[in-house]
């Protein structure tokens, strides 16, 4: 399941971000009648066709797997958070329909009609992400239902469940991350092209456009990420403690940069400590109290090593990506050009943005462990008892490796 | 009628749409695999052109059904997922490989080899997926969810594959009207029609012995639709045989609808016979009402979009062969 999700998420974010680029490029073509924009749009449309197909089928697997692997989770939560899933189904439907029109309609529709069919793709792609993450947010802060004393579901308010407290912070963060990854991946492709000597107008334009998206999105990712962390400090203190590697409950809590949290020593080793910074960041008050892991029973804590390192990976890479964007625009403004070392940096930024996003996903998923529904249902209680899980896991892992490598080969060959 | 029953009806409509639309896409894969003769490449191209713009939208009916099922009938969904883990996993593998293979191959059109292996993957996954979905459906219909696989289920699986191929062939006859390919697909439609007719009758004939629950359903509440199917079947075959492509397409679609709804009507009010009724498996009423609202809003967006999609890509044929894309 985790593998499927990790795989799907990488394709899905491109499904959110690429249509936006497509619509803008084609819109610029309609405005300026400059064929270069059209060439870009058509090129990206071809790439998007493959990515969408793989994203779509891996998404189907997920919806199946929810039931196959977590029958008790779905039996419990299906009626509570099924609503965003159903809404996502419709968003996905819209996306698939207009994608068909868009990809196969170049000759059958007028240019303006064709451009218009791109817009619902971009909107429904973003909507899909919003709906699905609502369900994930609910797993973090489950609301909108009542249990009787025996633990049976008594009444459900699906709207309240969809609009649970985490939705407000988690949803925007995921959405902008999708644009971050798309922006940097596209930029990486064109930066690589320029490094190999294809320094033409198309490459320059594509790079500029993707960097506009990447820069705007990385700034927003910083802001939304910051509010997410502050939200965790309030609502999921144990997750917050784990991702910051904080063991003792204390005022003026230090910020740990890097390092490995060791349960046996109740502290983070090898970390750079910034005194009082954590309290300051979390509550805007250097004397604010931060609750540490030791305050929570061991069987309700996530694995702090994984969560803390993932968190630092995400934040560290995010900051580097931001820095790179600033440098890119600064140099363009000052010198009007982009030096080779910066192009190399942008090539690295593509994969780095994917790593940052996956690390962020690790933070939210592993940070919630051992719970699948925070405070209500444990992962171990929800998993399937069906046989042959191991082989199924290996099978899907192999399929994903195959699909990912084929996709990569096909996409790279387009440029070659 | 209860809200739960209304939602079950909507989900069954979605299943019907999936069967007649995506079923034909599976059938297209079958004909891709079995493409032969001097026009084999042309046959494959016709399949790809017919499927290209619409297959992803067709496929989403399945996703809609899954999410709808786990929202509105979570306990039934949990039960199905546990009992039919294996066939669903295999079908899922087929769905993944098939969709990806179609996209990869479409993308590499004109490019050379290693990728043509994806063509074989596409074709074989198009056989495997409906087969296993058919066996899973048989387990539900016969009230034997816990004893998959049954010999009877295997027969139903084969029937599902045959009817998918039949659907696809009759659609393709319409799509290739006026070209040499029309005759190829007409022959295939006749063959698939015979195969699905024989398998369908066999399924029915063996039901009293092997699937008494299903036989009881079909001859009970489902009887009217069953009789309709038995009359419509030969009519469809006649239309195919006499080269009435549009009529044939309509009749084959009607056949699939009759079979599915005879099954549904027959097992009413059970969701998973012999014990789980629709009302018993339903989620709390708050969820059901909210879902109806979401479905209403969703359909208001969806149906015009679908109409547009099919109008743009499936209407041109009405006025003769379409221009090369």
What's the average model confidence in pLDDT over B252-261? Answer: 94
What's the average model confidence in pLDDT over A87-104? Answer: 91
Question: How many residues are present in chain A?
Answer: 416
Cα–Cα distance between B111 and B286 in angstroms, integer? 54
Contact between B57 and A86 (Cβ < 8 Å): no
Quote the DSSP letter at residue B283: P
Q: Tokens for B36?
A: 């032969």
User: Does pLDDT of A284 surpass 50?
Assistant: yes
Closest Cβ opposite residue B291 in set A65, A71, A86: A86
Q: Are the beta carbons of B294 and A68 separated by less than 8 Å?
A: no
Scanning B55-116, the segments in alpha helix (DSSP H) are 55-72, 74-83, 85-107
A64 contacts on B by Cβ (under 8 Å): 66, 81, 88-89, 92
User: Does pLDDT of B325 surpass 50?
Assistant: no
pLDDT bucket at B111, cuts 50 / 70 / 90: very low
C-alpha distance from B162 to closest chain A C-alpha (Å): 24
User: Does pLDDT of A415 surpass 60?
Assistant: no
Strand bridging mode A153-156 / A145-147: antiparallel
pTM: 0.88
pLDDT at A66: 73
Average pLDDT, chain A: 88
Q: Determine the residue among A11, A12, A15, A56 to mutate to test chain B binding: the one whose Cβ has the most chain B Cβ atoms within 10 Å.
A: A56
User: Does pLDDT of B177 surpass 60?
Assistant: yes
* Kind and range of the H or E run holding B250: helix B245-267
Q: Are the beta carbons of A96 and B95 separated by less than 8 Å?
A: no
User: Does pLDDT of A282 surpass 70?
Assistant: yes
pLDDT at A388: 65
pLDDT at B188: 96
pLDDT at A76: 80
Higher pLDDT: A257 or A66? It is A257
Domain borders along chain B are 3-285
Q: Are the beta carbons of B99 and A158 separated by less than 8 Å?
A: no
Instruction: List Cβ neighbours of B316 (8 Å cut-off, separation of 6 or more).
Output: A108, B322, B323
pLDDT at B115: 53
Q: Tokens for A405?
A: 């490598």
Instruction: List Cβ neighbours of B285 (8 Å cut-off, separation of 6 or more).
Output: B3
B52 contacts on A by Cβ (under 8 Å): 100, 103-104
Q: Are the beta carbons of A50 and B63 separated by less than 8 Å?
A: no
Tens-digit pLDDT profile for residues B198-230: 999 999 999 999 999 899 889 999 999 999 999
Q: Are the beta carbons of A67 and B66 separated by less than 8 Å?
A: yes
Closest Cβ opposite residue A86 in set B67, B95, B96: B67
Tens-digit pLDDT profile for residues A100-137: 999 999 989 999 999 999 999 999 999 999 999 999 99
Q: Tokens for B35?
A: 């493409």
Domain covering B3-285: architecture: Up-down Bundle (1.20)
Instruction: List Cβ neighbours of A366 (8 Å cut-off, separation of 6 or more).
Output: A302, A303, A306, A307, A310
* Residue A413: CB atoms within 10 Å: 12
Average pLDDT, chain B: 89
Q: What does residue B142 show for φ and ψ, rounded to 5 degrees?
A: -90, 0
Cα–Cα distance between B18 and B254 in angstroms, integer? 14
Closest Cβ opposite residue A71 in set B64, B78, B294: B78
Residues B181, B184, B187, CA angle at the centre, nearest 5°? 150
pLDDT at A192: 92
User: Does pLDDT of B320 surpass 50?
Assistant: no
Q: Determine the residue among A90, A135, A404, A410 to mutate to test chain B binding: the one whose Cβ has the most chain B Cβ atoms within 10 Å.
A: A90
pLDDT bucket at A2, cuts 50 / 70 / 90: low
pLDDT at A52: 87
Q: Are the beta carbons of A108 and B63 separated by less than 8 Å?
A: no
Q: How many CA atoms lie within 13 A of B10 on its CB side?
A: 25
Q: Are the beta carbons of B291 and A82 separated by less than 8 Å?
A: yes
pLDDT at A416: 39
Range with the poorest average pLDDT among A54-68, A332-346, B161-175: A54-68
Cα–Cα distance between B171 and A146 in angstroms, integer? 50
pLDDT at A387: 64
Cis before residue B136, ω within 30 degrees of 0?
no
Contact between B14 and B22 (Cβ < 8 Å): no
pLDDT bucket at A173, cuts 50 / 70 / 90: very high
pLDDT bucket at B167, cuts 50 / 70 / 90: very high
| ipTM of this complex | 0.86
Tens-digit pLDDT profile for residues A346-401: 999 999 999 999 999 999 988 988 888 888 888 888 776 666 677 877 888 888 88
A408 contacts on B by Cβ (under 8 Å): none
Instruction: List Cβ neighbours of B14 (8 Å cut-off, separation of 6 or more).
Output: B61, B64, B65, B68
Q: Are the beta carbons of A89 and B284 separated by less than 8 Å?
A: no
CA B281 → CA A5, A154, A283, B197, distances in Å? 28, 15, 46, 35
Tens-digit pLDDT profile for residues B272-305: 888 889 998 888 888 899 899 999 999 999 999 9
Cα–Cα distance between A50 and A47 in angstroms, integer? 6
Q: Tokens for A379?
A: 């992962």
pLDDT at B112: 41
pLDDT at B223: 93
Q: Are the beta carbons of A108 and B312 separated by less than 8 Å?
A: yes
Tens-digit pLDDT profile for residues B63-90: 889 888 988 998 888 888 888 989 998 9
pLDDT bucket at B323, cuts 50 / 70 / 90: very low
Cα–Cα distance between A157 and B148 in angstroms, integer? 36
A410 contacts on B by Cβ (under 8 Å): 104, 107-108
- What is the percent of chain B where pLDDT is above 70? 93
C-alpha distance from B135 to closest chain A C-alpha (Å): 17
Return the HEC string of B62-74: HHHHHHHHHHHCH
A107 contacts on B by Cβ (under 8 Å): 323, 325
Of B36, B53, B33, B32, nearest to B44 (Cα)? B32
Give A348: exposed, middle or buried? Use CB within 10 Å, 0-12, 13-18, 19+.
middle
- What is the percent of chain A where pLDDT is above 90? 48
Q: Are the beta carbons of B67 and A82 separated by less than 8 Å?
A: yes
Closest Cβ opposite residue B64 in set A52, A58, A93: A93
pLDDT bucket at B315, cuts 50 / 70 / 90: low
Q: Tokens for A219?
A: 């700034």
User: Does pLDDT of A62 surpass 80?
Assistant: no
Closest-CA residue of chain A to B67? A86
């Amino acid at each position: 399941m985790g593998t499927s999700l990790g795989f799907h998420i990488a394709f899905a974010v491109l499904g959110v971000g690429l249509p936006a680029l497509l619509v803008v490029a084609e819109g610029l073509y309609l405005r300026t009648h400059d064929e270069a924009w059209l060439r870009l749009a058509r090129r990206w449309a071809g790439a998007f066709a493959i990515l969408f197909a793989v994203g779509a089928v891996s998404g189907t697997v997920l919806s199946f797997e929810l039931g196959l692997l977590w029958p008790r989770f779905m039996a419990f939560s299906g009626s509570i958070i099924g609503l965003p899933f159903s809404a996502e189904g419709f968003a996905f439907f819209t996306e698939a329909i207009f994608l068909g029109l868009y990809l196969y309609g170049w000759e059958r529709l007028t240019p303006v009609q064709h451009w218009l069919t791109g817009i619902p793709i971009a909107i429904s792609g973003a909507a899909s992400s919003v709906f699905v993450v609502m369900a994930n947010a609910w797993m973090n802060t489950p609301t909108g239902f009542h249990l009787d004393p025996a633990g049976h579901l008594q009444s459900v308010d699906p709207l309240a469940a969809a609009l649970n407290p985490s939705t407000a912070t988690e949803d925007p963060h995921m959405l902008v991350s999708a644009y971050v990854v798309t922006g940097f991946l596209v930029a990486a492709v064109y930066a690589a092209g320029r490094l190999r000597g294809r320094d033409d107008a198309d490459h320059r334009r594509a790079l500029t456009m993707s960097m506009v998206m990447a820069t705007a999105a990385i700034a927003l990712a910083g802001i939304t990420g910051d509010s997410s962390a502050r939200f965790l400090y309030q609502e999921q203190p144990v997750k917050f403690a784990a991702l910051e590697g904080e063991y003792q409950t204390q005022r003026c809590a230090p910020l740990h940069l890097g390092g490995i949290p060791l349960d046996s020593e109740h502290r983070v080793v090898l970390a750079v400590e910034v005194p009082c910074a954590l309290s300051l960041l979390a509550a805007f008050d250097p004397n604010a109290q931060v609750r540490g892991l030791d305050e929570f029973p061991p069987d309700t804590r996530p694995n702090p090593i994984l969560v803390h390192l993932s968190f630092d990976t995400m934040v560290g890479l995010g900051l580097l990506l931001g820095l790179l964007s600033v440098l890119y625009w600064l140099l363009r403004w000052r010198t009007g050009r982009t030096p080779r070392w910066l192009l190399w940096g942008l090539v690295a930024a593509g994969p780095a943005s994917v790593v940052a996003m996956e690390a962020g996903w690790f933070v939210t998923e592993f940070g919630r462990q051992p719970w699948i529904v925070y405070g209500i249902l444990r992962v171990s209680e929800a998993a399937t008892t069906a046989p042959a899980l191991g082989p199924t896991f290996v099978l899907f892992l192999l399929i994903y490796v195959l699909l990912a490598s084929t996709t990569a080969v096909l996409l790279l060959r387009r440029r070659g | 009628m209860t809200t739960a029953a209304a939602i079950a009806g909507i989900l069954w409509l979605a299943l019907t749409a999936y069967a007649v639309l995506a079923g034909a896409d599976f059938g297209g894969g079958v004909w891709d695999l079995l493409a032969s003769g001097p026009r084999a490449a042309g046959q494959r191209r016709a399949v790809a052109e017919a499927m290209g713009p619409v297959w992803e939208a067709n496929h989403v009916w399945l996703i809609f059904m899954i999410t709808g099922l786990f929202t509105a009938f979570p306990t039934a969904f949990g039960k199905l997922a546990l009992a039919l883990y294996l066939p669903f996993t295999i079908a899922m593998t087929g769905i993944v490989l098939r969709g990806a293979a179609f996209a990869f191959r479409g993308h590499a059109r004109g490019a050379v080899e290693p990728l043509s292996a994806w063509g074989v993957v596409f074709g074989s996954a198009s056989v495997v997926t409906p087969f296993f979905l058919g066996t899973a459906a048989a387990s539900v219909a016969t009230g034997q969810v816990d004893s998959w696989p049954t010999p009877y289920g295997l027969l139903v699986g084969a029937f599902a594959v045959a009817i998918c191929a039949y659907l696809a062939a009759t659609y393709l006859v319409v799509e290739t009207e006026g070209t040499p390919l029309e005759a190829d697909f007409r022959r295939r439609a006749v063959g698939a029609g015979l195969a699905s007719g024989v398998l369908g009758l066999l399924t029915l004939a063996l039901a009293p012995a092997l699937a008494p629950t299903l036989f009881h359903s079909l001859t009970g509440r489902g009887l009217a639709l069953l009789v309709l199917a038995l009359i419509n079947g030969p009519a469809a075959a006649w239309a195919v045989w006499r080269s009435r492509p549009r009529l044939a397409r309509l009749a084959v679609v009607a056949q699939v609808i009759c079979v599915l709804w005879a099954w549904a009507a027959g097992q009413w009010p059970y969701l998973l016979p012999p014990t789980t009724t629709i009302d018993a498996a339903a989620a709390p009423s708050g969820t059901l009402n909210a879902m109806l609202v979401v479905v209403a809003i969703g359909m208001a967006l969806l149906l015009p979009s679908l109409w547009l999609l099919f109008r743009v890509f499936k209407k041109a044929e009405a006025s003769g062969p379409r221009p090369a894309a």
